[in-house]
């Protein structure tokens, strides 16, 4: 990739973000565009996705799809690579939340969560891999959670999915480093996005708790690092959320 001395730090970098229509995904998209990247966004809700792409302007393409659907994963990655002229990065941010006590767990909801949070990132990475190799290397960022580092009440399904994502990330790190593909796991603590909440009004934002742009800052920092090194895992906590 040809860059000039005065170019932004990620000038021309071509990145696909899943779950890109809101929250951490949208905040990361804004931060990457500010640094010169070209983006493709993927999300399930077409209306929100189109609104996000319109807000970001000409630097972002949008493709609706479900990461856990094999045909959607293949279609969106191919379309994103065509629109951007290739891929240098994939940010696996799409996820769903399912919080129930053990005695209330239902198999269909548990399986759907695992499909989106575990199978989905694997399908997207599998489809992106040939494009990253063709580019000579790249970045895969898996957005996980501190729930993948430890359990808690009512988190059986969600923690299981995030522990699995952490294990997959380690496997990909071992497999892909010789292809100059860096794989980083990002573990946010509670972020004020409304993720996992019901459809009711969101509580007022608290300035001492984490915002989506705080996690975007960590993601962008990992991508901006000189390619001779990489950060295997980043965990972000609020300093004083109490």
What residues are annotated to the active site?
A: 158
Pairing of β 14-18 and β 181-188: unpaired
- Residue 156: which residues within 8 A CB-CB, separation 6 or more? 100, 102, 105
Q: Radius of gyration over alpha carbons of the chain, in Å?
A: 17
Give which of 24, 15, 123 is closest to 68, Cα–Cα.
123
The Cα–Cα gap between 49 and 20 comes to: 7
CA distances to 23, 97, 142, 198 from 158, rounded to whole Å, are 18, 6, 15, 16
CA distances to 45, 63, 196, 203, 204 from 199, in Å: 15, 24, 10, 12, 15
CA angle 125, 130, 134 (to 5 degrees): 130
Angle at 41 between CA 120 and CA 200, to 5 degrees: 80
- Which structure tokens are listed for 175? 């497999």
Cβ atoms of residues 75 and 96 within 8 Å: no
């Amino acid at each position: 990739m040809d860059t000039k001395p005065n170019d932004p730090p990620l000038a021309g970098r071509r990145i696909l973000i899943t779950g890109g229509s809101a929250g951490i995904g949208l905040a990361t998209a804004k931060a990457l565009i500010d640094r010169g990247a070209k983006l493709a966004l993927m999300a399930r809700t077409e209306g929100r996705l189109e609104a996000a792409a319109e807000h970001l302007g000409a630097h972002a393409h949008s493709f609706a799809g479900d990461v856990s659907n094999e045909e959607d994963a293949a279609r969106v990655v191919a379309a994103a690579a065509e629109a951007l002229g290739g891929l240098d990065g994939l940010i696996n941010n799409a996820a769903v939340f399912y919080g129930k006590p053990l005695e209330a767990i239902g198999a269909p909801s548990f399986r759907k969560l695992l499909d989106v949070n575990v199978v989905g990132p694997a399908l997207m990475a599998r489809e992106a891999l040939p494009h990253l190799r063709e580019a000579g290397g790249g970045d895969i960022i898996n957005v996980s959670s501190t729930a993948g580092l430890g359990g808690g009440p009512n988190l059986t399904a969600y923690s299981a999915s995030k522990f699995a994502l952490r294990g997959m990330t380690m496997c990909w790190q071992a497999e892909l480093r010789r292809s100059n593909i860096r794989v980083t796991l990002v573990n946010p603590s509670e972020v004020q996005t409304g993720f996992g909440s019901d459809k009711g009004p969101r509580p007022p934002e608290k300035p001492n708790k984490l915002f989506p742009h705080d996690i975007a800052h960590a993601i962008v920092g990992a991508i901006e690092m000189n390619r001779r090194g990489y950060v295997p895992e980043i965990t972000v906590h609020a300093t004083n959320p109490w």
